[in-house]
């Protein structure tokens, strides 16, 4: 066999839990270690080790990601009452993804892996649609009050010198009701915008953004203005050089256009829009096992992972010695994404090229009819064969070998 591909800077590797931890090792053993002199800074984010380290390992892995610039993360358990008992935990540790996101101040981009035979529910969507949700503020950090009949509600701001600005909300003369206050910050919106522009430039795609600025003339309009300003000052020339565009429209117009589009762009959404639309897109594109996720910070730090969880139901079968047919595509694409990025940053063309071959081989495997149960149930291919978790990965390896040799 040819010499292994060398790396210069390590990748931050965040190991995780359950079935995804099982697949993690298979991917490394079968598809990575035989080909690459893999250099990683390893952090064990399994629930057991998070508990043993009082969750310091999660914080340390995020700090290492800031330092090295690229991480790949396995799915992890977010503990609940049942897990407290199952793992005899000292504390109900917070979601690692939440902790890491708070430290990197990043935006999550979710993109489906599209293959022949797995058709999105919207037939025109021939290319993936990547969705980015601004996961900060708005209705998720609101203050709400129930008000009675005869009450008068006002918006009041006290500035740093004690000066007061007031706006009427409503006089509840005929009936009681409800009011809500929400906020966002210029800093968070600007960080979101930069993450989106970076990701779009990196992946060579158009960026769409939409709000309801015609109705919300200050709140939503601020989002529009901040995006526009950052685009013109910092990204316009990169978009022009790539032949891509930044497209702003109203949210209802955006939804209508998305339904008629062929895909192939990044759709940036305000917090609530992203919450709702990401679930719609995930369902319409098919299996959870095919949805990838990347956390991108405003200064261009990347963390790649699968969008799905630890696939607990399959893991319990695996523990009983039963065969499982769990889809490793999203986890494999997380590794490929991280290796590609590492290669780009370090000028290692061979590493990036290997990552692309890995993706090609994985897609070819499914398109040749070899797939896990989740895809087997929905694939429209005439000839298809359901394989178990390990066999799927070994079949990818066979294709990888021919992709590598075909390319020589
Ligand atoms: P899940 O792990 O995503 O699995 C839910 C169901 O979706 C599975 O039972 C399976 O359906 C299907 N599925 C998901 N991924 C699949 C794959 N790769 N291949 C085949 N089928 C797949 O969600 P969950 O069961 O609600 O959560 C399990 C654990 O994951 C929880 O402890 C949760 O905290 C954690 N979680 C972590 C992350 C993360 O780290 N990013 C995200 C979400 C959840 P069938 O059983 O019908 O085959
Ligand atoms: Mg949602």
- pLDDT tens digits for range 274-324: 988 988 888 888 778 999 999 998 888 999 999 999 999 999 999 999 999
Of ligand 1's listed atoms, the one at least distance from the Cα of 305 is: 41
Query: Who lines ligand 1 at CB under 6 A?
Result: 75-78, 97, 288-289, 305, 308-313, 326-327, 374
- The confidence score (pLDDT) of residue 135 equals 81
| Distance separating alpha carbons of residues 341 and 252, to the nearest angstrom | 35
Please check whether the domain covering 1-109+298-408 is classified as CATH 1.10.150.120. no
CATH class of 119-142+186-285: alpha beta
Q: List beta partners, residue 158.
A: 164
Q: Which residues surround ligand 2, an ion (CB under 5 A)?
A: 275, 279
Residue 130 corresponds to which tokens in the numbers above? 């990547």
Residue 43 corresponds to which tokens in the numbers above? 């952090």
Q: Comparing 279-283, 311-315, 348-352, 391-395, which segment has the lowest mean pLDDT? A: 279-283
Question: Which ligand is located closest to the Cα atom of residue 278?
Answer: 2
Task: Return the residue whose CA atom lies nearest to atom 36 of ligand 1.
Answer: 309
Question: Which ligand is located closest to the Cα atom of residue 93?
Answer: 1
pLDDT > 90: what percent of the chain? 88
What's the CA-to-centroid distance between 339 and ligand 1, angstroms? Answer: 24
More confident residue, 132 or 406: 132
- The confidence score (pLDDT) of residue 275 equals 85
Sign of dihedral through CA atoms 92, 97, 102, 104? positive
- The confidence score (pLDDT) of residue 288 equals 84
Domain ranges of the chain: 1-109+298-408, 119-142+186-285, 143-181
Q: Judge whether 1-109+298-408 and 119-142+186-285 match in fold.
A: yes
- The confidence score (pLDDT) of residue 145 equals 95
Q: Are 394 and 356 in contact (CB under 8 A)?
A: no
- pLDDT tens digits for range 356-386: 999 999 999 999 999 999 999 999 999 999 9
**pLDDT value at 408 more than 70:** no
- pLDDT tens digits for range 241-258: 999 999 999 999 999 999
What's the CA-to-centroid distance between 248 and ligand 2, angstroms? Answer: 23
Average pLDDT over residues 43-65: 98
349-367 vs 389-406: helix crossing angle, rounded to 10:
120
Q: Is 178 helix (H, G, I), strand (E, B) or coil?
A: strand
pLDDT band at 187 (very low <50, low <70, confident <90, very high): very high
- pLDDT tens digits for range 91-107: 999 999 989 988 988 89
- The confidence score (pLDDT) of residue 101 equals 87
- The confidence score (pLDDT) of residue 1 equals 59
pTM of the entire structure? 0.90
| Distance separating alpha carbons of residues 61 and 194, to the nearest angstrom | 23
Question: Which ligand is located closest to the Cα atom of residue 22?
Answer: 1
- The confidence score (pLDDT) of residue 407 equals 63
What's the CA-to-centroid distance between 293 and ligand 1, angstroms? Answer: 14
């Amino acid at each position: 066999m040819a010499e292994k591909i060398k790396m210069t800077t390590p990748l931050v590797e965040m190991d995780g839990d359950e079935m995804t931890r099982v697949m993690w090792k298979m991917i490394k053993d079968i598809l990575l270690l035989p080909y690459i002199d893999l250099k990683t800074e390893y952090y064990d984010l399994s629930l057991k080790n998070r508990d043993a380290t009082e969750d310091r390992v999660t914080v340390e892995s995020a700090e290492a990601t800031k330092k090295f610039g690229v991480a790949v993360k396995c799915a992890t358990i977010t503990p609940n009452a049942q897990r407290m008992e199952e793992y005899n935990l000292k504390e109900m540790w917070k979601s690692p993804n939440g902790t890491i996101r708070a430290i990197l101040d990043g935006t999550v981009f979710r993109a489906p892996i599209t293959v022949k035979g797995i058709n999105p529910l919207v037939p025109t969507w021939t290319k993936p649609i990547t969705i980015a949700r601004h996961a900060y503020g708005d209705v998720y950090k609101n203050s709400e009050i129930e008000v009675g009949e005869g009450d008068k509600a006002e918006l009041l701001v006290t500035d740093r010198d004690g000066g007061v600005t007031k706006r009427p909300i409503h006089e509840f003369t005929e009936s009681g009701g409800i009011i809500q206050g929400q906020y966002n910050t210029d800093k968070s919106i600007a960080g979101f915008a930069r993450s989106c522009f970076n990701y779009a430039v990196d992946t060579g795609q158009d960026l769409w953004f939409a709000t309801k600025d015609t109705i919300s003339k200050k709140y939503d309009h601020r989002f529009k203005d901040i995006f526009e300003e950052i685009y013109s000052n910092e990204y316009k020339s990169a978009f022009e050089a790539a032949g891509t565009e930044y497209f702003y429209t109203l949210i209802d117009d955006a939804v209508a256009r998305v339904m008629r589009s062929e895909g192939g762009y990044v759709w940036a959404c305000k917090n609530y829009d992203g919450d709702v639309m990401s679930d719609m897109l995930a369902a319409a594109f098919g299996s959870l096992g095919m949805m990838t996720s990347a956390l991108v910070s405003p200064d261009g730090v990347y963390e790649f992972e699968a969008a799905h969880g630890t696939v607990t139901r399959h893991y319990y079968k695996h523990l009983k010695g039963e065969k499982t047919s769990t889809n490793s595509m999203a986890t494999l694409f997380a590794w490929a994404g991280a290796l590609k990025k590492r290669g780009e940053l370090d000028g290692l063309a061979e590493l990036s090229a290997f990552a692309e071959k890995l993706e090609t081989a994985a897609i070819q495997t499914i398109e040749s009819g070899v797939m896990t149960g989740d895809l087997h149930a929905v694939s429209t291919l005439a000839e298809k064969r359901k394989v178990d978790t390990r066999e799927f990965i070994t079949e990818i390896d066979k294709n990888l070998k021919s992709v590598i040799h075909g390319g020589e």
